[in-house]
Structures are given as structure tokens and as C-alpha cells.
């Protein structure tokens, strides 16, 4: 474990180059980030979205590839290319059978692993199934999520041992939302230590009744410090990323430390309470992404002891009817097109006029600049962007090392590095904050801090 490195120095007005921005944001096959992300298991969708066998497929797009996800009649999951190898007919309209999916145009059939099984529109002696290589990616169900591996290795990496994947179903919940922007600006919002007290807090930090309607409980604790600006932001490297602490005064020789986790390649964990939280920022393509909001109770005892949980759902987040677009079935009612159903009166007098932390984040991350990809060469970074700079450099460093030396990126080999949590904790000034929070942020068996 390395010591906290202190506040970032010398970043006033600092920017990333256009070339670096291109490297960080492009995720298609052969790109620097696309190749990096393919080394890891990728969360596709909660299993509940594909609960029935043989009913209908889902339109999926990951890392700029159009795919179809289906559960065959035998229960096996297939994630295959969206278009039939014969005449590129859409397999979304294919018929799901016991052991595969059949194209309705000419009847070509594909197994869940992409094997071409039948070509019934031509005689048996003329078929060439063995010559057809339909795109497909292995899938597993783990922790209530369908995961896929899109990488080149024949040996699948170990599944990440997140605590939320290890607890029983009733102790966790998943919420997923389509985002109209590049994955990176959503991720950067998830590891930003200074926006919480501005974007998500009441204009009057002492207005607890207003805060309780829209803020998680750990945000309300931060409000009580009365400090919108952290006294310090300190980073500690972990085996697959870093954790950072944002310090605020709490009086009587104590400080409030809000501790967040960044885990390669696109995970974060916001400071939590009894109800823990994690986020995944899955790239759909260069201009669209999925934000996962994950909550869980580590034990049954904790779940049963909590009398009133944080408010997680808002009517504005209800899903719209699905369209023909990939992942259209997770688009919320409040969108960029309708200004996220903002109340301008509330916005003027009480707080950000958009309901809930999730939509408040979306209104910013989907509108950073005029295009879906933020132009980072036009930024003017400051010490408050310490964590953002760190994450960008970590991503670029791992992707470059993979391309130039074939070095496996952090977290691929050791699934125990994911056994971490975030926390919000009051720590006495007399001890280092890392020691004060260590027991709260490490799950049993973790190797994150060595």
C-alpha cells in the first residue's frame, strides 16, 4: 500500500491533448480503449431483463458492435452478431429454438456460441456451415448479471469478486440507464469529489428535510459539515485502481472522510452507508453508454436492521417504450430532449430542479460541450480534478502497456482486488484516515491494498 500522495500540484489550467482525448474515448475494435476493455468481463444487462427462455431477444450494442442477446429454449445464453451471415437479415426477428436462433429470412440457424448449424434453403450436399464464422461472445450469469467476455484469449479471465455479486439476490438491486454520451464523462462524474455539494445539495445546506427527499443519507451527513469545498483530496493506489478521500471538518478533533473507489476499467463506488453502492459505465459505442447503479447490503442482519433505506427511484426515471435502437429498453422518461423534466421554480429557489442524484448527473454528463464526446483539449483543470486526471492517466497507461508490451491490465489476473467498498466516515485527527477507514473499505479476502 502506498502512502497518500496529497493534493495534486501544478494542474491549474492543465488540459489533455486532442490525441489523448481520442485515445481515451474511442472504444471500437482495434482502438486503444477498445482493446483494453476486451481484456475484462463486461456487464451486459441484469439477468431479470432476459428471465424467460425462448421468448424474444434483446438488441445489444457493446464496444461499437451490434449484437443480439437471447436465451435459448435450453436456458443457455447467446450473444451473437446482429445480422445473419447469409444476407445480413436481422437476427432480432429470428425464431429462438431449443438450442439456438433461426433467421426468419432463409432459415439459417446459429447456436449460442455462433456455430452455424443449418442452411435449410439449400440441399444438404451444398451446405457449408463449417466455413461460416458468426460473431459470438461467451456469456455467464453471475450475481444476477449477464456478463460477456469479448477478448482474444481462449482462457477466460476470472470473474470479478465484487461483494454485490456474492450476496443473495434479495440483498442487492440493479438499475440501468442508457446515456447519450461517451462512457468517460459518465465515469468521471462518478469519481468527482467536489461536485456533490453543488449539484446534489440544497442551496441551504441546513435544510435537512429538503435533502432527505432527493439525497442519499451519506450526502446528508456531508451537508452537516457545512463545507462545500473539501479541505483536502488524497489518493491511495490499489491493486486495480485507486481510492480517494475527500476531507471535510466535523468538529471536536474529527473530520469527515468521503472515500470513493475507482476500479479498472470502468467501475466506481460512491461513499455509502449501510446500503452500499457501486457503478458501472459500460460503453455502447463512442457516443452512448450505460450507467449501472448497484446497491447491496453486505449481510442479512444489516438489511433487516435498516428501518428506512435511501430513496432510489423517481417517477422521472421510468423507462420509455422500447424502440429499434440497441438498449432502447432502458431509456428513462426524463431525457436530454425534454430538459430532464426540470422544475425551474424549484431550481431557482431550493435546489437543482431535476429529481434525484442520477438525473442530476445525467443532465451534466450528457451536455458537457455540444457533442456526445467531451473535447478535453478545451478544459481548464484544477486541483479539484485530481481524481479525474489520475483515472485518465491510469487508463492510458494500461492501454498503452497492453498494446506495446502485451502487459495484462490491473484486475484481470486477480479477482480478489474487486473486494472493496466505499465509505463515508468520521475519523479522529489523531490517526491517518486510511487506517481509520481500512476495515470499512476492505471485504474479507481482498487483495486490493496488498
Contacts of 186 (CB under 8 A, 6+ apart): 179, 281, 289, 291, 361, 365
The dihedral region occupied by 403, where left means phi > 0, alpha psi between -120 and 50, and beta the remainder, is alpha
Q: Using CA atoms, how far apart are residues 122 and 128, in angstroms rounded to an integer?
A: 10
Lowest-confidence pick of 52-56, 337-341, 444-448: 52-56
Q: Are 193 and 230 in contact (CB under 8 A)?
A: yes
Q: At what angle do helices 18-25 and 386-405 cross, to 10 degrees?
A: 70
pLDDT in tens, 40-72: 999 999 999 998 876 899 999 999 999 999 999
Distinct helix (H) and strand (E) counts, the chain: 12, 18
pLDDT at residue 215, rounded to an integer: 66
The closest alpha carbon to 350, from 207, 163, 448, belongs to 207
Candidate CATH numbers 3.90.380, 3.30.410, 3.40.50, 3.40.1010; the one for domain 163-441: 3.90.380
Q: Using CA atoms, how far apart are residues 216 and 320, in angstroms rounded to an integer?
A: 25
Lowest-confidence pick of 28-37, 184-193, 216-225: 216-225
**pLDDT (mean) for 361-370:** 96
pLDDT at residue 214, rounded to an integer: 65
Q: Which residues pair with 73 in a beta bridge?
A: none
Candidate CATH numbers 2.102.10.10, 3.40.50.720, 3.40.50.970, 3.40.50.10490; the one for domain 41-149: 2.102.10.10
Q: Which residues pair with 202 in a beta bridge?
A: none
CATH fold match for the domains 41-149 and 163-441:
no
Which residue is it, cell 452455424?
116
Q: In which band, very low, low, confident or very high, does the pLDDT at 20 lie, cut at 50, 70 and 90?
A: very high
pLDDT at residue 7, rounded to an integer: 47
Q: Find the farthest-apart pair of alpha carbons in the chain and give their distance in angstroms, rounded.
A: 85
pLDDT at residue 372, rounded to an integer: 97
Mean pLDDT taken over the chain: 92
Q: Quick one: how far is CA 381 from the chain centroid?
A: 24
Q: Work out the end-to-end distance of the chain between its first and last CA atoms, rounded to an integer number of angstroms.
A: 6
Q: Using CA atoms, how far apart are residues 175 and 171, in angstroms rounded to an integer?
A: 14
**pLDDT (mean) for 15-32:** 96
Which residue is it, cell 470479478?
160
Residue 184 has pLDDT above 90, yes or no: yes
- Collapsing DSSP to helix, strand or coil, 32 comes out as helix
% of residues, the chain, pLDDT over 90: 80
pLDDT in tens, 309-319: 667 789 999 99
User: Radius of gyration (Cα) for the chain, nearest Å?
Assistant: 23
Lowest-confidence pick of 110-114, 195-199, 211-215, 225-229: 211-215
Lowest-confidence pick of 138-147, 243-252, 328-337: 243-252
Q: Which residue has the higher pLDDT, 211 or 237?
A: 237
Q: Using CA atoms, how far apart are residues 209 and 213, in angstroms rounded to an integer?
A: 7
**pLDDT (mean) for 353-379:** 95
pLDDT in tens, 117-155: 999 999 999 999 999 999 999 999 999 999 999 999 999
The secondary structure of 139-162 as a DSSP string is EEEETTEEEEE-SS-SSPPPPP--
Question: String of b and e for 419-442 (b: at least 16 CB within 10 Å)?
Answer: bbbbbbbebeeeeebbebbeeebb
Q: Using CA atoms, how far apart are residues 126 and 309, in angstroms rounded to an integer?
A: 63
pLDDT at residue 277, rounded to an integer: 95
pLDDT in tens, 270-284: 997 889 999 999 999
pLDDT at residue 221, rounded to an integer: 67
- Collapsing DSSP to helix, strand or coil, 97 comes out as strand
pLDDT at residue 3, rounded to an integer: 37
Lowest-confidence pick of 105-119, 175-189, 341-355: 341-355
Q: Using CA atoms, how far apart are residues 220 and 211, in angstroms rounded to an integer?
A: 6
User: Percentage helix, strand, coil, to 5, in the chain?
Assistant: 30, 25, 45
Q: In which band, very low, low, confident or very high, does the pLDDT at 5 lie, cut at 50, 70 and 90?
A: very low
Q: Where are the chain's structural domains?
A: 41-149, 163-441
Q: Which residue has the higher pLDDT, 256 or 266?
A: 266
pLDDT at residue 180, rounded to an integer: 97
**Cis omega before residue 33 (within 30°)?**
no
Lowest-confidence pick of 86-95, 200-209, 371-380: 200-209
Triad 310, 314, 315: Cα angle to 5°: 155
pLDDT at residue 387, rounded to an integer: 95
pLDDT at residue 9, rounded to an integer: 52
Amino acid at each position: 500500500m502506498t502512502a497518500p500522495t496529497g493534493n495534486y500540484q501544478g494542474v491549474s489550467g492543465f488540459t489533455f491533448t486532442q490525441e489523448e482525448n481520442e485515445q481515451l474515448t474511442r472504444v471500437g475494435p482495434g482502438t486503444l480503449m477498445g482493446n483494453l476493455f476486451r481484456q475484462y468481463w463486461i456487464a451486459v444487462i441484469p439477468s431479470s431483463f432476459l428471465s424467460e427462455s425462448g421468448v424474444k431477444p434483446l438488441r445489444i450494442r457493446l464496444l461499437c458492435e451490434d449484437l443480439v442477446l437471447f436465451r435459448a429454449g435450453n436456458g443457455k445464453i447467446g450473444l451473437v452478431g446482429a445480422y445473419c451471415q447469409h444476407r445480413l437479415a436481422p437476427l432480432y426477428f429470428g425464431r429462438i429454438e431449443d438450442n439456438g436462433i433461426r433467421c426468419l429470412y432463409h432459415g439459417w440457424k446459429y447456436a449460442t456460441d455462433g456455430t452455424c448449424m443449418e442452411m435449410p434453403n439449400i440441399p444438404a450436399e451444398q451446405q457449408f456451415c463449417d466455413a461460416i464464422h458468426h460473431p459470438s461472445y461467451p456469456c455467464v450469469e453471475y450475481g444476477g448479471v449477464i456478463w460477456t467476455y469479448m477478448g482474444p484469449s481462449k482462457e477466460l479471465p476470472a470473474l470479478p469478486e465484487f461483494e454485490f455479486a456474492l450476496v443473495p439476490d434479495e440483498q442487492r438491486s440493479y438499475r440501468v440507464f442508457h446515456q447519450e454520451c461517451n462512457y468517460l464523462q459518465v465515469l468521471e462524474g462518478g469519481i468527482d469529489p467536489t461536485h456533490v455539494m453543488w449539484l446534489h445539495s440544497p442551496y441551504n445546506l441546513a435544510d435537512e428535510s429538503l435533502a432527505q427527499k432527493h439525497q442519499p443519507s451519506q450526502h446528508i451527513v456531508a451537508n452537516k459539515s457545512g463545507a462545500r469545498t473539501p479541505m483536502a483530496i488524497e489518493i491511495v493506489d490499489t491493486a486495480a485502481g485507486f481510492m480517494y478521500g475527500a476531507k471535510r471538518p466535523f468538529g471536536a478533533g474529527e473530520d469527515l472522510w468521503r472515500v470513493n473507489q475507482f476500479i479498472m476499467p470502468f467501475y466506481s463506488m460512491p461513499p455509502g452507508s449501510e446500503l452500499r453502492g457501486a457503478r458501472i459505465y459500460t460503453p455502447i459505442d463512442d457516443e452512448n453508454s450505460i450507467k449501472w447503479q448497484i446497491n447491496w447490503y453486505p449481510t442479512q442482519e444489516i438489511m433487516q436492521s435498516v428501518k428506512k433505506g435511501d430513496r432510489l427511484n423517481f417517477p422521472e426515471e421510468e423507462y420509455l417504450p422500447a424502440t429499434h435502437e440497441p438498449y432502447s429498453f432502458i431509456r428513462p422518461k426524463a431525457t436530454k430532449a425534454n430538459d430532464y423534466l426540470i422544475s425551474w421554480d424549484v431550481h431557482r429557489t431550493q435546489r437543482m430542479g431535476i429529481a434525484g442524484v442520477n438525473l442530476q448527473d445525467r443532465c451534466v454528463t450528457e451536455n458537457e460541450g455540444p457533442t456526445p464526446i467531451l473535447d478535453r483539449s478545451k478544459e481548464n483543470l484544477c486541483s479539484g480534478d485530481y481524481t479525474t486526471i489520475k483515472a485518465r492517466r491510469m487508463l492510458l497507461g494500461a492501454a498503452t502497456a497492453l498494446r506495446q508490451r502485451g502487459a495484462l491490465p490491473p484486475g484481470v489476473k486477480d479477482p480478489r482486488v474487486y473486494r472493496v467498498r466505499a465509505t463515508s466516515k468520521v475519523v479522529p485527527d489523531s490517526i491517518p484516515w486510511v487506517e481509520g477507514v481500512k476495515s470499512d473499505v476492505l471485504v474479507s479476502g481482498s487483495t486490493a491494498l496488498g
